Chains A and B, each alone.
Chain A
Amino acid sequence: MSELKENLKAQIIEQLNLEDLTPSDIKNEAPLFGDEGLGLDSIDALEFIVLLDVNYGIKISDPSDAREIFHSIDSLASFIESQK
């Protein structure tokens, strides 16, 4: 699980062009979206959906389902695990 989380952080930084960040800047439990977190927005959420499809073969068809899944690295990792 912790390896998955580290991979996710690296993938997110690359996919979302978060060039000023390193994986250690992203806390597992911190919110990814909104002003308190990484400040990601709706387009980033859509890129997440592409990332899950390409890297993990998981398809999300309704973006409104994604809000809880994409809350944090923790929630994202648990979701990916649950799909295996």
Chain B
Amino acid sequence: MDIFITGLGAISTIGNNVDEIYASLLAEKTGIRKGTLDHSMKYHVGEVPLSNEGLMEHFKLKTKGSRTALLGMVAAKEAFQGHQLMDEVRTGLISGTSVGGMDITEEEYRNYLKTETFDAEKYKHHPSGTTTEQMAEELGITGFVNTISTACSSAANAIMMGARLIRSNQLDRVVVGGTDSLTHFTISGFRSLMIFDPEWCRPFDETRKGLNLGEGAGYIVLESEKSLQLTGKTPLAKLTGWSNASDAYHQTASSPEGNGAVLAMTKALSVAHLQPTDIDYINAHGTATPNNDSSESKAFINVFEGKVPPFSSTKAYTGHTLAACGGIEAVIAVLSIQNNVLFPNLNHTTPIEETGLIPVKQITRIENVRNVLSNSFGFGGNNSSLIFSKL
């Protein structure tokens, strides 16, 4: 059974919606710059330049929520634009997040340290599940609502789960993706892991030092064929492959040979009934940490038997948006298929010595982008691969 994509929505530092993001991608324009908030000003980050109040006002949001929930609402609403809720179409929402309502918790915690007064209402935003409930309220979705928290593969896993619920006839239509906001929590955490690049990140470059964090959200709408007949929506592309595998190596580091990554990509190809040569573009996880890019490169060579298709990481545009990255990059994969364009891996000069792989370095238009592989690898060795295909 085919799984159709009938809606795209995204917000990130390079744009408030899919059109703006596509324009920035074509213009090879990064959104990463010096942070503007107390906790981000020492680092290069990909901030969405609207405050929480600004987001509510600009996008006319009705439901209050944490920053993570607000970003999620913006992207999910864009994806769901033009869709109607109807009883005959069982509709769900599956969202990935890792920080949930942390931004509000932090603000309250600091307030508590100063004033020793405690507002329990504020902490209600904290749980990751609440983030999704708030989004569901904004969208009016009351059916299957679920939250996945598997670090940086959360959104990809949400997309995978949505596809399975449609294929097993549990749902007809589902909004899937992920959202995460930049918080003191994550910035301090990645600082403690010492994997920030103090300058612009350089995925797949020999001189890469680490990642730049970003924030944002990305969602797509998946529908079954039966659902298409009822909603009358025009499909944009198909989701044909998905897989998740454990790396079983370390809590945070990827195995040197990328065992989990190899398994995830191989199984996704087999779910899609595709050969490695059918892949025209890989949107890599490519965080620009020394460990991820080396491990992912070796996994590419292994899966594609040395003939690695054009690949790039778009994280030098958006920053690493953690639980949201699989959602934003799903949108980017569909843009690639719709427009037959491959997006560049910014800031690349020197190939990694050990593998010699060279990513796509400028906007590249090819005759036909048939299938795009998108990787998202999370802490805990949680590796996911998705395949998007032309109709």
Let me know if chains A and B touch directly in the complex, using CB atoms closer than 8 Å.
Answer: yes
Q: Which 5 A-B pairs give the minimum distances between C-beta atoms?
A: A63-B194, A42-B253, A46-B194, A46-B193, A46-B192
Interface string of B192-226 (1 = CB under 8 A from A): 11100000000000000000000000000000000
User: Which of chain B's residues have a CB closer than 8 A to the CB of A62?
Assistant: 194
Q: How far is the CB of B254 from chain A (nearest CB, A)?
A: 11
A80 located at the interface, meaning its Cβ lies under 8 Å from any Cβ of chain B in the complex: no
User: Is the CB–CB distance between A49 and B250 below 8 Å?
Assistant: no
State the majority secondary structure of interface residues on A.
Answer: helix
Q: Which of A42, A50, A62, A63 is most buried by chain B, counting CB atoms within 10 A of its CB?
A: A42
| A53–B366 CA distance with the chains assembled, in angstroms | 52
User: Is the CB–CB distance between A42 and B250 below 8 Å?
Assistant: yes
User: Which of chain A's residues have a CB closer than 8 A to the CB of B251?
Assistant: 43
Q: How far is the CB of B309 from chain A (nearest CB, A)?
A: 31
| A46–B251 CA distance with the chains assembled, in angstroms | 14
Question: Can you list 14 A-B pairs, Cβ within 8 angstroms, ordered by A?
Answer: A41-B250, A42-B250, A42-B252, A42-B253, A43-B193, A43-B251, A43-B252, A46-B192, A46-B193, A46-B194, A49-B194, A50-B192, A62-B194, A63-B194
User: Which of chain B's residues have a CB closer than 8 A to the CB of A42?
Assistant: 250, 252-253
Interface string of B244-275 (1 = CB under 8 A from A): 00000011110000000000000000000000
| A41–B250 CA distance with the chains assembled, in angstroms | 9
Nearest neighbor of B198 in chain A, beta-carbon distance:
A61
From 26 to 84 in chain A, residues with beta carbon under 8 angstroms from any chain B beta carbon are: 41-43, 46, 49-50, 62-63
Q: How far is the CB of A66 from chain B (nearest CB, A)?
A: 9
Q: Which of B192, B193, B194, B251 is most buried by chain A, counting CB atoms within 10 A of its CB?
A: B194
Chain A positions within 8 Å of B, measured between CB atoms, are: 41-43, 46, 49-50, 62-63
Q: How far is the CB of A74 from chain B (nearest CB, A)?
A: 24
Interface string of B349-365 (1 = CB under 8 A from A): 00000000000000000
| A42–B250 CA distance with the chains assembled, in angstroms | 9
Interface range for B = under 10
User: Which of chain A's residues have a CB closer than 8 A to the CB of B253?
Assistant: 42
User: Which of chain B's residues have a CB closer than 8 A to the CB of A49?
Assistant: 194
Other than the known A41-B250, A42-B250, what 12 A-B pairs have Cβ atoms closer than 8 Å?
A42-B252, A42-B253, A43-B193, A43-B251, A43-B252, A46-B192, A46-B193, A46-B194, A49-B194, A50-B192, A62-B194, A63-B194
User: Which of chain B's residues have a CB closer than 8 A to the CB of A43?
Assistant: 193, 251-252
| A50–B192 CA distance with the chains assembled, in angstroms | 8
User: Which of chain A's residues have a CB closer than 8 A to the CB of B252?
Assistant: 42-43
Q: How far is the CB of A65 from chain B (nearest CB, A)?
A: 11
| A46–B253 CA distance with the chains assembled, in angstroms | 13
User: Which of chain B's residues have a CB closer than 8 A to the CB of A50?
Assistant: 192
Q: How far is the CB of B255 from chain A (nearest CB, A)?
A: 13
Q: How far is the CB of B287 from chain A (nearest CB, A)?
A: 15
Q: How far is the CB of A8 from chain B (nearest CB, A)?
A: 21
Q: How far is the CB of B113 from chain A (nearest CB, A)?
A: 20
User: Which of chain A's residues have a CB closer than 8 A to the CB of B250?
Assistant: 41-42
Interface string of B230-253 (1 = CB under 8 A from A): 000000000000000000001111
Q: How far is the CB of B193 from chain A (nearest CB, A)?
A: 6
Nearest neighbor of B252 in chain A, beta-carbon distance:
A43
Nearest neighbor of A41 in chain B, beta-carbon distance:
B250
Nearest neighbor of B253 in chain A, beta-carbon distance:
A42
| A82–B211 CA distance with the chains assembled, in angstroms | 32
| A62–B192 CA distance with the chains assembled, in angstroms | 12
Interface string of B331-349 (1 = CB under 8 A from A): 0000000000000000000
Q: How far is the CB of A64 from chain B (nearest CB, A)?
A: 9
From 172 to 204 in chain B, residues with beta carbon under 8 angstroms from any chain A beta carbon are: 192-194
| A43–B379 CA distance with the chains assembled, in angstroms | 13
